[in-house]
Amino acid sequence: MTTTSAQETEGLFQLPTEVEEFRQSARAFAEREVAPLVDEAERTSTFPVQLFKRAGDLGLLGLQFDPEWGGAGAGLLPDLIFREEVSRVCAGIAAGLGIQGQIGTAYLARHGSSEQKDRWLRPALAGDLITAWALTEPDAGSDVRAIRTRVSRDGDTFILNGRKTFITNGPTAGAIGVVARQSDDRFAVFVVEAGDEGFECERVLEKLGCRSSQVGELVFDNVRLDESRRLSPPEGSSIEAILDVLIRGRVLIAAASLGVASAAFDMGLAYAKEREAFGRPIGRFQEISMKFAEADARIAAARLLTYRAAHLCDTRDAVPIRECAQAKLIASETALWVVDQMMRVFGGMGFMRGSPIERLYRDVRYFQIVEGTTEIQHRILAKELGL
Ligand SMILES: Cc1cc2nc3c(=O)[nH]c(=O)nc-3n(C[C@H](O)[C@H](O)[C@H](O)COP(=O)(O)OP(=O)(O)OC[C@H]3O[C@@H](n4cnc5c(N)ncnc54)[C@H](O)[C@@H]3O)c2cc1C
């Protein structure tokens, strides 16, 4: 049996000092740059696009990507801390920034040529170009193999036809990674630019929560693209190869869930100490204090799973599918449970439009849907277990 030193054991449960220090910078960005914009952005359902540039200037977009293209080469863990801290202040704004610097540019960062990275990744990470990732269609969400958007060759060029929906940053994006069917069982990823003939964002969708992230329905009507737009290999890819890059995105959704759960917890705790009933603060009633005890433990457990998954993503060659699914499942469901409990702590005040917990109650529903629903995480885990 091998022995583990006390220091190494501690390392299993604590983030590296530099990552904790980075958390302070991420929190400062969230509180100073994001927080003042939240009310207006949520009220008007508009993403404050100036934040892309601000985050890019501060090197906060693409923390996990190669420094050659403007990333920080810091791995997934700091990126996750950034997502957690911004989500603590506003899940919608964090979602828009997350597509830009994390999920939407991941395929380009992995598979793009130097010319393609120079053209789209570098300006995206600098905050000069807004990006989106378009996979979901009206008739194909969880069932990604059912997508109908099709790309076909026409001489030296390609023609793209189809429709994508629920696309974050779709209404404002300058470059969109579009997943299309190339043949019966091969898929391709092409970059469509705003202004390409035949492409339009047909409508901006109204949402229950995360209102400050803009989501659109995109139409591709005989969009003609040259070879420089193709990110995938000429023979196409299996859908698994395309999704492989996105699995790490599940950990980022887990981190965002932690941010919202922590925000709800802090808000609820302050209220429980201040609000009085029957001559004492409500937090002194066991029925209320137990909610905090339980939430504290559940958030801590979700946090450990999330950081472990990120650590494994950073240190293993193979994507840790099982650990990513565990983290996404537990963190997103924990956030839902915590926000629900905190709503109860706020009583009637929580039900009032405009109360801070009311926004979290709407926003938290996002996490059980994106990057694979809860049911899809169950399927992934069951499959990993041979069921
Ligand atoms: C705010 C928001 C932003 C988004 N941003 C993007 C984006 O930027 N880019 C993008 O491509 N997509 C985006 N999406 C789409 C998102 O990824 C899909 O909504 C998600 O994958 C679920 O697909 P669906 O909505 O079609 O639901 P469906 O797949 O129709 O699922 C409906 C229900 O059936 C369940 N279900 C489906 N299949 C199974 C199964 N095999 N076993 C058990 N249960 C099953 C689901 O869990 C769910 O409960 C976004 C969605 C939202 C809400």
- pLDDT (tens digit per residue) in 262-282: 999 999 999 999 999 999 999
Does 133 sit in the ligand 1 pocket, CB within 6 Å? Answer: yes
* Substitution candidate for ligand 1 out of 131, 136, 212, 365 with most atoms within 8 A of CB: 136
141 Cα: distance to centroid of ligand 1 (angstroms): 4
Same domain, 254 and 215: no
For position 287, what pLDDT does the model report?
98
Same domain, 109 and 51: yes
Same domain, 152 and 220: yes
How confident is the model over 107-150, as pLDDT tens digits?
Answer: 999 999 999 999 999 999 999 999 999 999 999 999 999 999 99
* Substitution candidate for ligand 1 out of 102, 149, 166, 371 with most atoms within 8 A of CB: 166
131 Cα: distance to centroid of ligand 1 (angstroms): 20
Domain count, the chain: 3
Q: List alpha helices for 180-285, DSSP H.
A: 239-244, 249-274
Does 91 sit in the ligand 1 pocket, CB within 6 Å? Answer: no
Same domain, 22 and 94: yes
For position 370, what pLDDT does the model report?
97
Same domain, 109 and 213: no
Same domain, 50 and 175: no
Degrees, nearest 5: CA angle 384-99-67: 95
Residue ending a domain, among 238, 256, 273, is 238
How confident is the model over 54-78, as pLDDT tens digits?
Answer: 999 999 998 999 999 999 999 999 9
Does residue 7 register a pLDDT over 60?
no
Residue ending a domain, among 71, 96, 130, is 130
CA nearest ligand 1 atom 16, residue: 370
374 Cα: distance to centroid of ligand 1 (angstroms): 10
Task: Report which of 202, 205, 229 is spatially closest to residue 218, judged by C-alpha positions.
Answer: 202
How confident is the model over 139-176, as pLDDT tens digits?
Answer: 999 999 999 999 999 999 999 999 999 999 999 999 99
Same domain, 262 and 369: yes
CA 187 to chain centre: 23
Q: How many CB atoms lie within 10 A of CB 73?
A: 12
Same domain, 64 and 112: yes
Both tokens assigned to 121: 């990744």
Does 136 sit in the ligand 1 pocket, CB within 6 Å? Answer: yes
For position 97, what pLDDT does the model report?
96
Does 74 sit in the ligand 1 pocket, CB within 6 Å? Answer: no
Write the burial class of residue 60 (CB in 10 Å: 0-12 exposed, 13-18 middle, 19+ buried).
buried
166 Cα: distance to centroid of ligand 1 (angstroms): 9
Residue 275 lies in a domain: yes
CA nearest ligand 1 atom 24, residue: 141
Residue 201 lies in a domain: yes
Give kind and range of the element (H or E) at residue 342.
helix 321-345
Same domain, 254 and 378: yes
The owner of tokens 């699995």 is: 247
225 Cα: distance to centroid of ligand 1 (angstroms): 28
329 Cα: distance to centroid of ligand 1 (angstroms): 14
CA nearest ligand 1 atom 50, residue: 166
How far apart are alpha carbons 191 and 13 in whole angstroms? Answer: 41
Residue 3 lies in a domain: no
Does 379 sit in the ligand 1 pocket, CB within 6 Å? Answer: yes
Residue 5 lies in a domain: no
Give kind and range of the element (H or E) at residue 297.
helix 286-315
ipTM of this predicted structure: 0.99
Which residue type, as a one-letter code, is found at position 248? R
Both tokens assigned to 299: 């958030």
Q: How far is CA 187 from CA 105, 116, 277, in A?
A: 18, 19, 61
pLDDT tier, 1 (very low <50, low <70, confident <90, very high otherwise): very low
103 Cα: distance to centroid of ligand 1 (angstroms): 16
Query: Mean of the pLDDT values across residues 94-100?
Result: 94
Same domain, 186 and 208: yes
Same domain, 360 and 301: yes
Q: What is the mean pLDDT of the chain?
A: 95
CA nearest ligand 1 atom 1, residue: 366
Q: What does the DSSP 8-state code read for residue 173?
A: -
Does residue 5 register a pLDDT over 60?
no
Does residue 328 register a pLDDT over 90?
yes
Query: Mean of the pLDDT values across residues 337-343?
Result: 98
Residue 231 lies in a domain: yes
273 Cα: distance to centroid of ligand 1 (angstroms): 39
In 139-214, DSSP assigns E strands to 150-154, 157-168, 175-181, 187-193, 199-204
Write the burial class of residue 141 (CB in 10 Å: 0-12 exposed, 13-18 middle, 19+ buried).
middle
Does 99 sit in the ligand 1 pocket, CB within 6 Å? Answer: yes
How far apart are alpha carbons 168 and 28 in whole angstroms? Answer: 25
CA nearest ligand 1 atom 37, residue: 142
Phi/psi of residue 170, nearest 5 degrees = -55, -45
Residue 1 lies in a domain: no
Q: Is the separation of the CB atoms in 329 and 370 below 8 Å?
A: no
Residue 226 lies in a domain: yes
Which residues on neighbouring strands pair with residue 162, listed in sequence order? Answer: 220
Same domain, 291 and 319: yes
Write the burial class of residue 115 (CB in 10 Å: 0-12 exposed, 13-18 middle, 19+ buried).
exposed
Catalytic annotation, residues:
371
Does 142 sit in the ligand 1 pocket, CB within 6 Å? Answer: yes
What is the domain range of residue 114?
Answer: 10-130
Residue ending a domain, among 207, 238, 269, is 238
Q: Which CATH number do you get for residue 185?
A: 2.40.110.10
Query: Mean of the pLDDT values across residues 361-367?
Result: 98
How confident is the model over 204-256, as pLDDT tens digits?
Answer: 999 999 999 999 999 999 999 999 999 999 999 999 999 988 898 999 999 99
Residues in CB range of 113: below 8 A, 6 or more apart:
none
At 147, is the secondary structure helix, strand, or coil?
A: coil
CA nearest ligand 1 atom 6, residue: 167
Q: Is the separation of the CB atoms in 369 and 328 below 8 Å?
A: no
Does 340 sit in the ligand 1 pocket, CB within 6 Å? Answer: no
Residue 2 lies in a domain: no
Q: Which CATH number do you get for residue 368?
A: 1.20.140.10
pLDDT tier, 9 (very low <50, low <70, confident <90, very high otherwise): low
Atom of ligand 1 nearest to the CA of 209: 1
CA nearest ligand 1 atom 18, residue: 141
Q: Which CATH number do you get for residue 47?
A: 1.10.540.10
How far apart are alpha carbons 196 and 377 in whole angstroms? Answer: 36
Phi/psi of residue 72, nearest 5 degrees = -110, -10
